[in-house]
Structure formats: structure tokens, C-alpha cells
């Protein structure tokens, strides 16, 4: 195992080959002028007893505050202080053993230009997120489809689990398309190295926090993608995973401390239960099972109670934002993390980048459950500082019942109304990220049994409701797939590979229905882009009647009336029934087709109207 790990280390850090068999250091660099100027370095040598070497440094404005002793003698943990007077440059750390002196070069960089403007801008309700999986979107560079030395050498588009070859260059090639939908922000599934033997297409099993996945193009191409987005006035969200890593991560193969990961007498999986974390009647051991149990056997659970682990993860988050110009942070498996640690990490990001925004995957059942994990108005002992959730409640208990249940007192669209009525629990529900589907669940088009009218209604709701809309790649062209197994909801985007007969980027060979839905997203997405009411206006909703649900988005400049007819028959709507919002208006313009409607109009069954009101 020892010999094998040394070979693995070389493949993980090609940029460190000059001393890879002696030592590697993380973070791989830092910056002058950061508020986080007390940096904890994790340094791994190639032999037992490495921690007995004497470390010294001579660099103006940088000093060693403390050398920490870890369980594993191959590691040194070094606390360094970077003074405000420090200048960018190369720092030489010297390691003195009995017979020789070794030097590791480590860089202090100047801060990224455009601080506070060109990056770390945050993602708000004015934005529209396009989410994609890099491996499945577009292959722009076939030379990186396979990387020698990496464990997963698969490349087979006929397999739902093998790699398909998508990369950053493919995304850059099609930013025009993403922007044409009205999208302002790109969120990709994780882009860090996943040097696992298989199932590497999803990206959630990190093997090196400080290396960008080379099969996507590596760090340079990631920076190019970030810069390309920012030049267009667009934003970049990074998918963060604090809870676990891949089992081939070097810190799992050879842990720095005995408790770097949560250890159990035998393999113990999380219960996936969120209730024990806030249940006033709950048992402590069940709460521990939720947070400390492993996600899967291949994804060891990081011990965030360990201060070295906590610093390692927090510093990586800061490093990523500064190194790559990240604007927002989506946090995977949020509820399974140590929540006090997450508060520390979130605060570290906003202390350094005041406009930075974070939203977490809170896959739970119930608005109270979900609100517990974010900034809320609950009177509870633990108060989260997470700004927003991925709003599973508006999906499961909102728009999905609209599509599958007949209208009733507590059924159908009433559930959507009721779920939104519980927004009083959130500190700021406009930050919630709303969606129809994602990489883990059945695609919305399959969920609605391939009913195009329902797909359109779902999209129209998505782009007019409160919150930040997120569109999963392909939803706009009626991509389908059941989530059992999940590979079927992660298929290739049409036109992303040479030889594809269907090309969604150019609309070549799309069916009339696919083109119609794609055009709907483009029209409404771009309308939303210039609509103050939809981007940042208030929401007022009315109790649904006879399957008709009416809500308004409005501000001082604009009023949008949204009418969702979920019934099986045509319905007549009178603006006079909603005078609190319609008073003074005499007509409405359909934002999709431009038709003008008077104060009394009809809505067809299973259709939705979006009207900009006028006088």
C-alpha cells in the first residue's frame, strides 16, 4: 500500500512533481491581503518520521506561528501568519533532517482583480440558474477524454455509468446557447478531481481538493470558463461537498489523524433522517447517526469536529472562490454535516466576500424541517446562518401535486398555495432556489407522463414564482428519464458531440414540441431578465378556486398576473375578483404571445397565462 500510494500521489499532483516524492503542501498557495491570514498548511512527506524535521522560513511578512503534532508522523501541520505588509512572491519552506535540507516552494499571490465586482457577486432572485453535468453536456476537447494514470479509463456513451467525455471547452463553446435561454448563472455538478475506479461522471467523490478534474480540462480551463462567464455579465456557482470524499482520497488512504474521518466498529450508513437533528424529543445517538454515518461505502464521512479537518475544508472554500472567481456556493448533502461547523464555514466565506451567497441541498420533507437548516424565524436553540435551501418543498409539496392530483381542499394546486403560505418561516424566501428536476431525480417531463402542456405549465410557474429559478439541462427540450437508476436522468445533451443527429444548440432535428418548449423558455427567460416584478417584486397569492390558482408578482413599476388553470375545463377569470392587485388596471398583455386581454378572459384547461397588466 505504501509503494502504491507514492505512485498515486505523483498522478494526483503533476504540478508538484519536482518534490512529490518528498512532500506535498495544501493549500497549494495563498494570497496577500486576505482577512483569513492565519493559514494552516497540511504537509505530507514520503516517509515515517517526516514530522521530526525542523521547519523554517525566511520571507518578509510571513512567519510560522505553530507546528502542530498529528497522529501520522508522515504529516506536518503548520500554522503560518501572513502580515498585511507581505508581498506576492515565492516562499521557500526549509525542512531540516539529520543529513540534509529540503526546500518546498510555495506561492503567495496577489488578490484576484475585480474584488467585489467581477466575482463573489452572489446569486439573487434576479438570476436564472442553468444547471448541467460537465461530462454529459458537450465534448469540446476530445484529447482529454481519457487521462493516462487515472483509475477510470471508461469512455462509452452507450453506458449510463461510464464517462462520456463532456468538458469545460464544450460548455464554453455553447455559452451563447445558455445565455439565449435568459440564464444568468451556471451551476455545474462538482469539478474537483474524482480519481475513483468507476462512477466518476457525477463528481461527488473528491480525491484531491486542490486539483480540478483533468478530464474536464483542468484548472486553466476552469479559469477560462469562469472568465468567459464574467465577460458576459454571467455568474458561476461551484458545487461544494463538505460531508464526504471519495475512498481514494489521499487523506483516506493515509489519514493525517486517526479521527480525520468518522470511524465505526463496522460500516455504518447515515439514517438519512433529518428529524433527530431538531426533534425536542429525539435521542442523541440518532442525531449522531444522521451526521456521522457514511453516505456510501465509497464516500468516507469527514469528521468536521476535528479542528484540522474543519480548517482544511474552510480554507479550501476560500481558496476556490479566490482562485477561480466563484460567485455562489451550492452545498451538497447539507443536513449531514456538523451544523455548527457549517455556520463557521459560511461565516468565513461572507467575512471574506460580503456578497457571496450559499444555498444548501436540504432534501427533507416538510417546510418546518427545511427552514430549520437555513436562516429562519423559528425559536430554536440552534440558528443556522445558511442563506437559503434548494427548495425541495416547493417541488414535492408544491408543483408536483399540481401535476398529479385533482383539485381539492387539501389536494392539487392547493398544496402549492399552502406551501408558499408557510414562507413566514424563512428569513428571506426570495433566496430559495426553486426547480423542477435535477441530476438525482426523475426528469419533470417523465414525472408528468410526457404531457407537454404540463411541462409548459411547470416551466411557466418556475420562471414566475418567488425565489431563484434553476433549470436542469435538457428540461427545455423535453429530455426524459426515470431516476431508478439515476444514470437515466444524466443522459447527453443533444448536439454536444460530433455526429449527433439532433442538435439542441441549433434546433436542428428537434421535434416541433421540443422546439416549442425551448422557445417558451427563451421567451419567458429573457422576459424575466428585464422584468423588475419577476426578478425582485413581491408575491401575492389567492386561495385557489375550482382548480384556478392566481398569484401576482409586483413592484412599484410593474404588475404581473399569473393564472394557472389546473382543472379539466376552460375557466373564466375576472380581474375584478382580485382588486387588491388589479385596481386601476384595465387590460393585460400575454407575455408569451403578445395578445391583449380585457378585464374578463378565459383560460383553457391545463394552461397558464402570464399577463403584464396595463391601463
- The residues annotated as belonging to the active site are 332, 361
Reported as type and span, the H/E element at residue 551 is: strand 548-554
CB 536 within 8 A of CB 543: no
* CA terminus-to-terminus distance, the chain: 76
Tell me the CA distances in angstroms from 242 to 55, 167, 173, 206, 329, one per residue in order: 30, 24, 31, 10, 12
Residue matched to cell numbers 426523475:
442
Beta bridge partners of 597: 588
* Grid cell at residue 444: 419533470
Q: How far is 271 from 285, CA to CA, in rounded Å?
A: 11
Give which of 99, 147, 303, 123 is closest to 229, Cα–Cα: 123
CB 26 within 8 A of CB 210: yes
| 588-598 b/e (C-beta count within 10 Å ≥ 16 → b) | beebbeeeebe
Rounded to 5°, the CA angle 563-564-568 comes to 130
Q: Would you mind telling me the total number of residues written for the chain in this entry?
A: 615
Give which of 173, 174, 130 is closest to 472, Cα–Cα: 130
Tell me the CA distances in angstroms from 15 to 9, 216, 521, one per residue in order: 11, 17, 43
Amino acid at each position: 500500500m505504501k509503494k502504491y500510494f507514492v505512485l498515486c500521489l505523483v498522478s494526483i499532483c503533476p504540478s508538484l512533481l519536482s518534490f512529490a516524492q518528498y512532500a506535498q503542501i495544501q493549500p497549494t498557495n495563498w494570497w496577500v491581503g486576505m482577512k483569513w491570514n492565519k493559514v494552516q498548511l497540511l504537509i505530507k512527506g514520503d516517509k515515517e518520521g517526516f514530522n521530526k524535521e525542523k521547519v523554517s522560513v525566511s520571507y518578509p511578512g510571513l512567519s510560522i506561528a505553530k507546528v502542530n503534532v498529528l497522529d501520522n508522523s508522515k504529516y506536518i501541520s503548520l500554522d503560518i501568519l501572513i502580515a498585511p505588509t507581505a508581498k506576492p512572491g515565492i516562499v521557500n519552506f526549509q525542512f531540516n533532517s539529520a543529513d540534509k535540507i529540503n526546500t518546498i516552494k510555495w506561492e503567495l499571490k496577489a488578490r484576484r482583480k475585480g474584488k467585489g465586482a467581477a466575482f463573489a457577486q452572489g446569486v439573487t432572485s434576479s438570476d436564472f440558474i442553468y444547471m448541467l453535468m460537465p461530462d454529459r453536456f458537450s465534448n469540446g476537447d476530445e484529447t482529454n477524454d481519457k487521462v493516462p494514470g487515472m483509475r477510470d479509463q471508461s469512455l462509452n456513451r452507450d453506458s449510463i455509468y461510464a464517462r462520456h467525455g463532456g468538458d469545460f471547452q464544450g460548455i464554453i463553446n455553447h455559452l451563447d446557447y445558455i445565455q439565449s435561454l435568459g440564464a444568468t448563472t451556471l451551476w455545474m455538478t462538482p469539478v474537483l478531481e474524482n480519481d475513483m475506479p468507476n462512477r466518476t461522471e457525477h463528481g461527488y467523490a473528491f480525491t484531491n481538493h486542490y486539483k480540478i478534474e483533468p478530464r474536464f480540462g483542468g484548472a486553466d480551463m476552469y479559469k477560462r470558463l469562469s472568465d468567459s462567464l464574467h465577460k458576459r455579465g454571467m455568474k458561476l456557482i461551484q458545487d461544494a461537498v463538505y460531508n464526504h470524499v471519495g475512498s481514494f482520497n489521499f487523506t483516506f488512504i493515509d489519514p493525517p489523524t486517526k479521527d480525520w474521518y468518522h470511524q465505526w466498529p463496522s460500516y455504518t450508513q447515515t439514517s438519512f433522517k433529518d428529524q433527530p437533528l431538531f426533534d425536542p424529543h429525539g435521542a442523541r445517538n440518532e442525531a449522531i447517526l444522521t451526521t456521522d454515518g457514511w453516505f456510501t461505502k465509497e464516500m468516507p464521512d469527514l469528521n468536521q469536529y476535528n479542528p484540522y479537518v474543519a480548517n482544511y475544508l474552510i480554507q479550501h472554500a476560500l481558496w476556490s472562490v479566490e482562485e477561480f472567481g466563484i460567485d455562489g456556493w451550492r452545498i451538497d448533502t447539507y443536513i449531514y454535516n456538523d451544523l455548527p461547523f457549517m455556520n463557521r464555514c459560511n461565516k468565513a466565506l461572507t467575512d471574506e466576500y460580503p456578497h457571496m451567497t450559499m444555498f444548501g441541498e436540504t432534501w427533507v420533507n416538510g417546510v418546518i424541517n427545511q427552514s430549520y437548516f437555513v436562516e429562519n424565524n423559528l425559536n430554536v436553540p440552534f440558528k443556522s446562518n445558511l442563506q437559503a435551501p434548494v427548495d425541495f418543498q416547493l417541488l414535492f409539496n408544491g408543483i408536483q401535486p399540481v401535476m398529479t392530483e385533482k383539485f381539492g381542499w387539501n389536494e392539487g394546486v392547493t398544496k402549492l398555495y399552502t406551501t408558499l403560505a408557510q414562507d413566514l418561516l424563512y428569513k428571506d424566501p426570495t433566496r430559495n432556489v426553486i426547480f423542477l428536476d435535477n441530476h438525482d431525480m426523475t426528469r419533470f417531463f417523465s414525472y408528468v407522463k410526457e404531457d407537454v402542456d404540463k411541462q409548459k405549465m411547470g416551466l411557466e410557474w418556475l420562471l414566475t414564482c418567488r425565489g431563484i429559478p434553476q433549470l436542469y439541462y435538457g428540461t427545455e427540450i423535453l429530455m426524459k428519464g426515470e431516476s431508478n437508476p439515476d444514470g437515466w436522468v444524466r443522459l447527453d445533451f443533444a448536439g454536444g458531440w460530433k455526429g449527433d443527429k439532433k442538435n439542441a444548440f441549433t434546433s436542428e432535428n428537434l421535434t416541433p414540441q421540443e422546439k416549442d418548449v425551448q422557445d417558451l423558455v427563451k421567451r419567458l427567460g429573457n422576459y424575466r431578465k428585464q422584468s423588475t416584478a419577476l426578478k425582485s417584486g413581491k408575491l401575492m397569492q389567492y386561495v385557489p378556486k375550482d382548480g384556478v390558482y392566481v398569484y401576482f408578482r409586483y413592484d412599484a413599476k410593474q404588475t404581473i398576473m399569473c393564472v394557472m388553470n389546473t382543472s379539466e375545463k376552460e375557466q373564466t377569470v375576472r380581474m375584478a375578483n382580485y382588486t387588491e392587485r388589479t385596481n386601476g388596471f384595465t387590460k393585460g398583455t400575454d407575455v408569451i404571445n403578445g395578445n391583449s386581454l380585457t378585464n374578463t378572459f378565459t383560460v383553457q384547461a391545463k394552461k397558464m397565462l402570464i399577463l403584464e397588466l396595463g391601463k
